[in-house]
Amino acid sequence: MRTKVFSIEGQSIKEIDLADGVFGIKVSEGAIYHALRNELANRRQGTASTKTRKEIHGSNQKPWRQKGTGRARAGDKKSPLWVGGGTVFGPKPRDYSYKMPRKLKQLAMKSLLSLKLKEEKLQVVEDIALESGKTKDLVRMIQKLAKMEKTVIILNTDDKMMKRAGANVPWLTLLQFNKLRAHELFYSQHVLLCEQAATSLNTFFGEKK
């Protein structure tokens, strides 16, 4: 498919070919769901922890004799039945992360790119270069395209000056074409795809035997 390439001022300057197998596929909602779930699981710290009865600090002495008091029998004050006692089957530190199948992850990214293009939220723009590395220069450069809403810029290379400039903009995320993240793409209002990154995506997500 062919689509327009926009300048920083928001004007159409030429057209570019986008691979149908990357930007024009049938959107797989299941793949997108699994990609989002995988990213959120990998972000979890997994530091929640509770103490069992053997880890509670306290005496092991029997609080009263077994029979004759009229009370229920009790072994010690660290019993899970008592206030301040141990927890039964409570959470312990664990690793929630897991690896997602490569083909499923690729399907999710292609589905997201196709979805954003179908919703007219993805624009191919001329390659952006920022030598100053200043936040105000970057915001001024993209404000006509991004409109100060949640925006993702997909770069062709790991541009350190661009990333430094965008680090202080809460509504802006910069991603490299081969390191896309489902969460940022799915919730973005605008996706600005640099021209060279579009060409790289055509081959990067191409069919591999």
β-strand 12-17 against 2-6: which pairing, if any?
Answer: antiparallel
β-strand 2-6 against 122-125: which pairing, if any?
Answer: parallel
**Strands lying side by side in the sheet with 190-194:** 12-17, 2-6, 122-125, 190-194, 151-155, 172-176
Nearest to 208 by CA among 105, 99, 122, 117: 105
Residue 63 lies in a domain: no
Residue 148 lies in a domain: yes
Long-range contacts (CB closer than 8 Å, 24 or more residues apart) made by 128-133 = 128/8, 128/153, 128/155, 128/162, 128/192, 128/194, 129/159, 130/159, 130/161, 130/162, 130/165, 131/161, 132/161, 132/165, 133/160, 133/161, 133/162, 133/164, 133/165
Q: How many domains does the chain have?
A: 1
Residue 144 lies in a domain: yes
CATH number of the domain at 187, please: 3.40.1370.10
Residue range of the domain that includes 166? 2-27+101-204
Residue 74, token pair as written in the block = 């009790």
pLDDT tens for the chain, 209 residues: list them: 889 999 888 888 889 999 999 999 999 999 999 999 999 999 999 999 999 999 999 889 999 999 999 999 999 999 999 999 999 999 999 999 999 999 999 999 999 999 999 999 999 999 888 888 899 989 988 888 887 889 999 999 888 889 899 998 999 999 999 999 999 999 999 999 999 999 999 989 865 53
Residue 84 lies in a domain: no
d(CA 141, CA 170): 16
Q: Tell how far CA 126 is from the center of its chain.
A: 26
Residue 145 lies in a domain: yes
Residue 181 lies in a domain: yes
Residue 45 lies in a domain: no
